Structure 1
Amino acid sequence: MTSLELLQTAVRELLGDARLIESTLPGTDLRLWLLDPAHMARPFSGEETRRILQAPPYWSFCWASGLAMARWLASHPHWVQGKRVLDFGAGSGVAAIAAARAGAVEVVACDMDELALAACEANAALNGVTLSHSADFTTVQGPFDLILVADVLYDRENLPLLDRFLEHAPHALVADSRVRDFTHPAYRQLACLDALTLPDLAEPAEFRRVSLYHGQAPTTGPRTQPL
Structure 2
Amino acid sequence: MSSLQTLQTALAGLLGGARLVDTPLPGTDLRLWLIDAANMDRAFDVDETRRILDEPPYWCFCWASGLVLARWIAEQPARVRGKRVLDFGAGSGVAAIAAARAGAAEVVACDLDPLALAACRANAELNGVQLGFSADFFAEADRYDLIIVADVLYDRANLPLLDHFLTRGREALVADSRVRDFAHPLYSRLAQFEACTWPDLAEPAEFRHVTLYHACRVAPPVAVAVAVAATA
TM-score by length of 1: 0.96
**Counterpart residue number, 1:61:** 61
Q: Report Cα offsets for 1:100-159 as digits up to 9, x if no partner.
A: 000001100000000000000000000000110011111123400000010001111110
Gaps of 5+ in 2: 223-232
1:177 aligns with 2:204: no
Q: Report Cα offsets for 1:33-92 as digits up to 9, x if no partner.
A: 000010111111110011001100000000000000000000001111000000000000
Counting aligned pairs with the same residue, the percent is: 68
**Counterpart residue number, 1:225:** none
Partner Cα separation in structure 1 for residue 161 and residue 126 of structure 2: 31
Aligned residue identity for 1:132: G
1:35 aligns with 2:60: no
Partner Cα separation in structure 2 for residue 98 and residue 122 of structure 1: 14
Partner Cα separation in structure 2 for residue 220 and residue 50 of structure 1: 50
Task: List 4+ stretches of structure 1 deviating above 3 A.
Answer: none
Partner Cα separation in structure 1 for residue 186 and residue 107 of structure 2: 23
**Counterpart residue number, 2:219:** 219
**Counterpart residue number, 1:97:** 97
Give 1:205 deviation, angstroms: 1.7
**Counterpart residue number, 1:74:** 74
Partner Cα separation in structure 2 for residue 9 and residue 101 of structure 1: 29
Gaps of 5+ in 1: 223-227
Between Structure 1 and Structure 2, whose CA radius of gyration is higher?
2
Indicate conservation of the 8 Å contact 2:68/2:175, yes or no: yes
Aligned residue identity for 2:173: L
Aligned residue identity for 2:11: V
**Counterpart residue number, 1:12:** 12
1:150 aligns with 2:127: no
Partner Cα separation in structure 1 for residue 175 and residue 38 of structure 2: 28
Partner Cα separation in structure 2 for residue 205 and residue 104 of structure 1: 33
Indicate conservation of the 8 Å contact 2:140/2:168, yes or no: no
Give 1:221 deviation, angstroms: 6.0
Aligned residue identity for 1:6: T
Alignment of 1:202-213 (within 5 A): 202-213=202-213
2:162 is paired with a residue whose SS is: helix
Which segment drifts farther, 133-142 or 106-115? 133-142
Partner Cα separation in structure 2 for residue 98 and residue 48 of structure 1: 33
